[in-house]
Amino acid sequence: MVEFDSVFDENITEALNRASMKKLWWLYAVVSLAFIALGIVSLLDKDEAGIVWIVFGILFFPFTLFLTKIMQKNINRSMNLLSTETKEYYRFEEQKFVVRQNKGTDYLAATEAAYSYLYKVIESKDCYFLYLSKAQAHVVFKSGLISGSLAELNAILARNLGSRFKAQK
């Protein structure tokens, strides 16, 4: 059995956004290069608007990151549950896992499920992403380990999820 304690705060959304950006970096690079190429072609055609396209291409990725952070902060503010007061507990057993969340006496949620409930699990350097679907996930930070070991958890996940578990390389 492997157990984790953590807090359900903005670190969760930051970890998910970082993981998403790592998956899509190539798309941002292609779009940036396309704008830069458009700018170069425009400049070769003696169109001064090419400079604008080149600058836009260079600033596209940082601007996208900035907008993502602003939008996520707005979403975070609207989510009352996302707080340092909200505690999470995860327990991974051989055939099932348990997730409990509570925020004082106002909120208590508990899930006990077979591993087939999970769409996939991805291990990163700092955490595990337990995907319920392509767009919804629990984030379990490794630093919250209170019982068992990460090797034990990896073995449980590999046995129960097979190819749907991606261990850290």
pTM as predicted? 0.81
pLDDT score for 80: 82
pLDDT score for 49: 86
Give me the numbers of helices (H) and strands (E) for the chain, helices first please.
Answer: 3, 9
Question: DSSP of 60-100, one letter per residue?
Answer: HHHHHHHHHHHHHHHHHHH-TT-STTEEEEEEE-SSEEEEE
**pLDDT, tens digit (0-9, with 9 covering 90-100), for 1-33:** 999 999 998 888 888 888 888 888 888 899 999
Per-residue pLDDT at 169 exceeds 80: no
Give the integer Cα–Cα distance in Å for 54 and 161: 46
**pLDDT, tens digit (0-9, with 9 covering 90-100), for 49-89:** 889 999 999 999 899 889 988 988 888 888 888 888 999 99
Per-residue pLDDT at 95 exceeds 80: yes
pLDDT score for 107: 93
pLDDT score for 97: 97
Mean pLDDT of 94-100: 96
Contact 139, 127 (CB under 8 A): yes
**pLDDT, tens digit (0-9, with 9 covering 90-100), for 119-138:** 999 999 999 999 999 889 99
- Res. 117 pLDDT band, cuts 50 70 90: very high
**pLDDT, tens digit (0-9, with 9 covering 90-100), for 131-158:** 999 889 999 999 999 999 999 999 999 9
Mean pLDDT of 98-110: 93
